[in-house]
Amino acid sequence: MDGEARAEAVLLAAPWLLLNLSCEMIFILHSRLDSNSADVRKSQRIVDDLVQTLVEPCNFSETLRPHALSSLAAAKASFSRLAHCSIARLEKGSMSKLFSLMVMSVKTMLMMCRNPQQMVEILPTRLGVLESMASPSLVPALLLCKEKATELFKSLAQLQLQSVRQELCLILQGLTTKVTPLISTGLQNLGGFISVRGEGAALPDQFCAGTVRYFAGKKVTVAQAPGMGGGIRIQTEVV
């Protein structure tokens, strides 16, 4: 991949991050409204207001516009404005806590991706969850947004997706806000760092980290190192 292609891919880190943060914000607020036994109609109106703002053509086009993210502080300000587009009113302290939770949740999701392709698969899944939460009148707009978001990323080669992932890791590097649900499920340690597991699928025709291949004539012995997926697994192939 040449430098120009990588530079173009890096500019897609911001759209991926902003879209996932938007979804995460709605998920969290919806969960809080449910846990607080808020009025059903009021809760639905808040969710619909947020979804409506997200899928509004101009707003969604701006979210998907390839660009370099200036700072997370700027993103926080835009999400604060998004929250106030609904009847929900968040104090400054509450918004700060909400944004920290949003960022750490998305960071965890990113770190749990076993390969860059999963970053693409996440987008329609999360927008699909919004379809089940929003009123039926908003579903067609969400379906269109899902199509546009998928189209933006699915044409990227694996190396380009990896460049997007690397840029996202740089943006989120050093953020270690402790989140109780993440700690209780073992996804975050007491130092605030994400606990990445070794299990899971690698890219097609690729090997997980810790794999060692030994070549002897036409035979290839593949060994999985201890601690990278649980114990040593040895497989011999003929090439």
Residue 238 clears pLDDT 60, i.e. is over it:
no
SS3 45: helix
DSSP state of 225: P
Residue-wise pLDDT for 61-78, tens only, equals: 999 999 988 888 888 888
The residue behind tokens 């929900």 is 88
Q: What is the pLDDT of residue 200?
A: 57
DSSP state of 12: T
**β-strand pairing of 211-216 with 233-238:** unpaired
Residue-wise pLDDT for 25-54, tens only, equals: 999 989 988 887 778 888 899 899 999 999
Contact between 79 and 26 (Cβ < 8 Å): no
Residue 229 clears pLDDT 50, i.e. is over it:
no
Contact between 76 and 93 (Cβ < 8 Å): no
Contact between 122 and 148 (Cβ < 8 Å): no
Q: How confident is the model at residue 231 (pLDDT cuts 50, 70, 90)?
A: very low
Q: What is the pLDDT of residue 195?
A: 86
d(CA 3, CA 165): 16
Q: Where are the domains of the chain?
A: 3-184, 207-239
Q: What is the pLDDT of residue 232?
A: 44
Residue 236 clears pLDDT 70, i.e. is over it:
no
Element (H, E) at 215: strand 211-216
Q: Quick one: CA dihedral 65, 67, 71, 74, positive or negative?
A: negative
Residue-wise pLDDT for 77-120, tens only, equals: 888 877 776 666 677 788 889 999 999 999 999 998 888 889 99
Q: What is the pTM of this model?
A: 0.81
Closest CA to 197 of 86, 100, 80, 108: 108
Closest CA to 140 of 150, 152, 131: 131
Provide the b/e sequence for 123-138 (b: ≥16 CB within 10 Å).
bbebbeebbebbeeeb
Residue-wise pLDDT for 142-198, tens only, equals: 999 999 999 999 888 888 899 999 999 999 998 999 999 899 999 999 999 998 766
Q: What is the pLDDT of residue 168?
A: 94
pLDDT mean over 206-220: 72
d(CA 37, CA 171): 36
Residue 57 clears pLDDT 70, i.e. is over it:
yes
